[in-house]
Amino acid sequence: MHHRKRILVTGGAGFLGSHLCARLLRENNDVLCVDNFYSSARDNVLGLLSNPHFELIRHDITLPLYLEVDEIYNLACPASPIHYQENPIHTIKACLLGSLNMLGLAKRLRCKIFQASTSEVYGDPEVSPQKESYWGHVNPNGLRSCYDEGKRCAESLFFSFWRENKIAIKIGRIFNTYGPNMHPKDGRVISNFIMQALQNEPITVYGNGEQTRSFCYVDDLIECMIRFMNTENDVTGPINMGNPDEFTIKELAEKIIADTGSSSKIEYCPLPHDDPKQRKPDITLAETILGWHPTISLDIGLKKTIPYFRSII
Ligand code: UDP
Percent of the chain whose pLDDT exceeds 70 = 99
Supply the Cα-derived Rg of the chain in whole angstroms.
Answer: 19
39-55 tens-digit pLDDT: 999 999 999 999 999 99
120: nearest Cα among 100, 82, 149, 93: 149
Task: Give me the catalytic one of 38, 122, 147, 178.
Answer: 147
For 289-306, what is the mean pLDDT?
98
* Percentage with pLDDT > 90 across the chain: 98
pLDDT mean over 112-132 = 97
Query: How far is the centre of ligand 1, averaged over its atoms, from the C-alpha of 176 (Å)?
Result: 10
Measured from the CB, is residue 252 less than 6 Å from ligand 1? no
What is the arithmetic mean of pLDDT over 17-41? Answer: 97
CA dist., res. 252 & res. 137, Å (int) = 25
Q: Using the mean position of ligand 1's atoms as its centre, give its distance from the Cα of residue 22 in Å.
A: 27
Whole-angstrom CA distances from 56 to 11, 12, 101, 186, 225 are 11, 8, 18, 23, 21
Give the atom of ligand 1 at the shortest distance from the alpha carbon of 279: 23
Q: Can 84 be counted among the known catalytic residues?
A: no
Task: Indicate the pairing of strand 246-248 with strand 212-214.
Answer: antiparallel
Count of residues making up the chain? 313
Give tens-digit pLDDT for 249-275: 999 999 999 999 999 999 999 999 899
Which residue among 124, 148, 192, 206 has the greatest number of ligand 1 atoms within 8 angstroms of its CB, and so is best to mutate?
Answer: 206
Which of 249, 264, 271, 279 has most ligand 1 atoms within 8 Å of its beta carbon, as the pocket-test mutant? 249
Q: What's the chain's average pLDDT?
A: 97
25 — pLDDT class (breaks 50, 70, 90): very high
Query: What is the DSSP secondary structure assignment for residue 267, as one 8-state letter?
Result: E
Q: Burial letters for 238-253: b for 16+ Cβ neighbours within 10 Å, e otherwise?
A: bbbbbbbebbbbbebb
> Which domains are delineated in the chain?
6-178+217-244+276-295 (3.40.50.720)
User: Would you call 47 exposed, middle or buried from its count of C-beta atoms within 10 A (0-12, 13-18, 19+)?
Assistant: exposed
The pLDDT of residue 1 is 57
Amino acid identity for residue 124 in this structure? D
